[in-house]
Structure 1
């Protein structure tokens, strides 16, 4: 059984919990998720099964879309609503929509983030949250991430201390940290009070399935009907079509001359008619050649 399960991850589960449950339901060990979501966050979590596990790193390294809520006036040690309050400031004069939008605009593009202490980023072989739990200080590495789009969303709430926003960002973006940094720019301690992920690559909220649906299909032995093609997880990569003779060479994992056709992404997909053959990249040491990264021998 090979394909991508477009799961809607519920609150209260880790991404690893979801993988373990799906392994049992689909009776296979070849299961992998495509981008960690914190336990208290729900949202789109594509799960790769069988041969699809070969594309996990390529699907993980894609744009994500989130709806987040920023709460002004309180900062927490975890940068979300689950943590202990470490700083407070009364929001006497809530920022106007115009002030918020101006600050949000300043975060468009490539920005530098310092990962939160309560995160799985490793420093000297140890995860940051392990240092945090042991109350040990450690220098955190900075990272560059890309905010492709950010906008304030309308809200029906009377709460003046919070606002919602939509973010489209690169892999590795900490939305919690983004909320804190935005709050600081507005002059207040802040934290992320709510978050959902609505899109990962081509997978959208409206196309996802819940565990309840999966369990119903398993009872009918129809769980394979929920799987999308491996190709659906590679929409962001350029495609290169090959002939019958080249197909054999690709499936044998051979290096090939660089195609004359302009390739817009690196890596890219090698296809024969409608069949996905492999993922190739330009050879890092021989730019006139291409080499296989993953081969799909179905």
Structure 2
């Protein structure tokens, strides 16, 4: 059984909890998720099963869309509403819609973030939250992320609700804190929902209730999307029957004459996904396999 299960992750579960549950339901160990969601965050979490686990890094590397809510007036050690309050400031002059819109737009493009201490980013082989739980401060690595779109949805009391489309690795908690700082107040993320990962959005989302019902009726395979859906953001190279056999054997190939817009890219024979290839890093004029599928 191979394919992508578009799970709608519920609040209260870690992404790993979801993987464990899917392994049990589908009776296979070959299960992987495509981008961690914090326990208190719900939303679309594509789960790769069987041969689809080979595309996890490529699906993880897609754009993400979130509906976020930040609350002005206090900040917390975890940058969300689950942590201890570290700073307070009464919101005596709530910003106007125009001010909020201008501040949100100032984050559009490539920005630099410092991951929160309560995160899974590793420093010296240990996760940051492991240091945080022992009250140890360490220097956190800066990272560049991209905000493709960001727009206000609503303002209500001290809360600002907004939509953001961003690159892999963006911490929305940190973004909320930084937005608050530009508005002159401590802030934290009070709610978050991921509505899209790559081509999978909330319309695709399946609850555990729906999945368990399908398993009970032996129809779980019908829930799986093809592997191609997970890499449809990559450009494609079509090959004929003779080249197909070389691809299936994991052979390096001559670089095609046709321009390829992405690197890596997918190699196709008709509608059949054969492999993911990339430009050879050492041999100019050649391409090499990154993943070969044997479905």
Per the normalisation by structure 1, the TM-score is 0.98
The correspondence of residues 28-39 of structure 1 with structure 2, limited to 5 A, is: 28-39=28-39
Structure-1 separation of matches of 2:154 and 2:183:
18
TM-align CA RMSD: 0.6
1:176 aligns with 2:173: yes
**Cα distance in structure 2, aligned partners of 1:166 and 1:292:** 37
Q: What's the secondary structure of 2:157's corresponding residue?
A: coil
Residue by residue over 1:39-93, the C-alpha shift from the partner in whole angstroms, topping out at 9 and shown as x without a partner, is 0000000000000000000000110000000100110000001011110000001
2:292 corresponds in structure 1 to: 295
SS of the equivalent of 1:290 reads strand
Corresponding residue for 1:286? 283
1:80-138 CA-partner distances (Å, limit 9, x unpaired): 01011110000001000000000011000000000000001111111111111100111
1:199-210 alignment runs, 5 A limit: 199-210=196-207
Correspondence for 2:88: 88
2:255 to 253, 258, 267: 258
- Give the distance between the partners of 2:246 and 2:138, measured in 1 at CA: 50
1:114 corresponds to: 114
Cross-structure match for 1:275: 272
- What does residue range 51-62 of structure 1 map to in structure 2 within 5 Å? 51-62=51-62
What is the alpha-carbon distance in structure 2 between the residues aligned to residue 137 and residue 11 of structure 1?
29
3-state SS of paired residue (1:16) = helix
- Aligned residue pairs, count: 295
SS of the residue aligned with 2:218?
A: coil
Report the counterpart of residue 241 of structure 1 in structure 2: 238
Q: For residues 233-276 of structure 1, give each alpha carbon's deviation from its aligned partner in whole angstroms, at most 9, with x where no partner exists.
A: 01110011000000000000000000000100000000001111
Q: Residue 287 of structure 1: CA displacement?
A: 2.1
SS in 2 for 1:18: helix
SS at match of 1:92: coil
Distance 1:274 1:121 in 2: 38
Shift of 1:297: 1.4
User: Helix, strand or coil: the match of 2:273?
Assistant: strand
CA-CA distance at 1:154 after TM superposition: 2.8
* Equivalent position of 2:105 in the other structure: 105
Moved over 3 A (4+): none
Alignment match, 2:64: 64
Rounded Cα–Cα distance in structure 2 between residues aligned with 1:141 and 1:287: 33
Q: CA deviation at 1:207?
A: 1.1
For residues 185-229 of structure 1, the C-alpha deviation after alignment (integer angstroms, 9 at most, x for no partner) is 000000000000000000000111000000000110100000000
- TM-score of the aligned structures, taking structure 2 as reference length: 0.99
**Match for residue 137 of structure 2?**
137
**Structure 1 Cα separation of the partners of residues 49 and 152 of structure 2:** 36
Aligned-pair CA distance for 1:160: 1.7
Give the secondary-structure state (helix, strand or coil) at the position aligned to 2:135.
coil
Any gaps of 5 or more consecutive residues in structure 1? Answer: none
Distance 2:201 2:226 in 1: 15
